[in-house]
Chain A
Amino acid sequence: EVQLVESGGGLIQPGGSLRLSCAASGFTVSSSYMSWVRQAPGKGLEWVSFIYSDGSTYYADSVKDRFTVSRDNSKNTLYLQMNSLRAEDTAVYYCARTSRIAAAGSEWFDPWGQGTLVTVSS
């Protein structure tokens, strides 16, 4: 069964750092495209970052230069290193496998992890 399990969330003071983990089973993270998506309390979904199988990465402007996506192939795990955290980064963070069929113009997030809550507050 394909599954994602996030961990690492918690309460952190503004300006602090946190690393989220996303452990995968049933598929190989290193040969997949992966994304992070967040959802602030009571709000909609916001795409955060993307990593290709070749390691190239993309970020939302709101987190660029503060967040870094990476992976550990030996642990089959995706990470999101979050630095210089702000109150507006408070959200549930989801990781998702990203599948693409370029010839059909299709790309989608599935499955999603259960999410991990990050609260940035003093």
Chain B
Amino acid sequence: DIQMTQSPSSVSASVGDRVTITCRASQGISNWLAWYQQKPGKAPKLLIYGASSLQRGVPSRFSGTGSGTDFTLIISSLQPEDFATYYCQQANSFPYTFGQGTKLEIK
């Protein structure tokens, strides 16, 4: 199985800050990576697919980079509504796997 490791597990930041979350796959997955945002009590929301394609309706302050084993989600200027937990997920092969999540908290 492909293991997905996110870092950091949690991060404190302020409105307006630039935040970077990384996701590493235990083996190469090309671009088969998606990023999701989840708020408490809500279903996950798709942000990025294909490692770098922005889902329609998602603000442009979100961006994704990477290919192979190393991926990054960048939030260029944090807004109050961005405080949530973020997950990466690989779809290169079954079983699909998620990272353990990164909780973004208000400093």
Contacts and interface: CB of A to CB of B under 8 A. Distances in A.
Interface of A: 35, 37, 44-47, 50, 58-61, 94, 99-101, 104-115
B55 A110 contact: yes
Contact of A106 (B32, B44, B98): B32
B34 A60 contact: no
Interface of B: 30-32, 34, 36, 38, 43-46, 49-51, 53, 55, 87, 89, 91, 94-101
Contacts of A44: 87, 98-101
Given A45-B36, A108-B55, 20 more contacts: A44-B87, A44-B98, A44-B99, A45-B38, A45-B101, A46-B98, A47-B96, A47-B98, A50-B96, A58-B95, A106-B31, A106-B53, A107-B32, A107-B49, A108-B46, A108-B49, A109-B34, A111-B46, A112-B44, A114-B43
Contacts of B101: 44-45
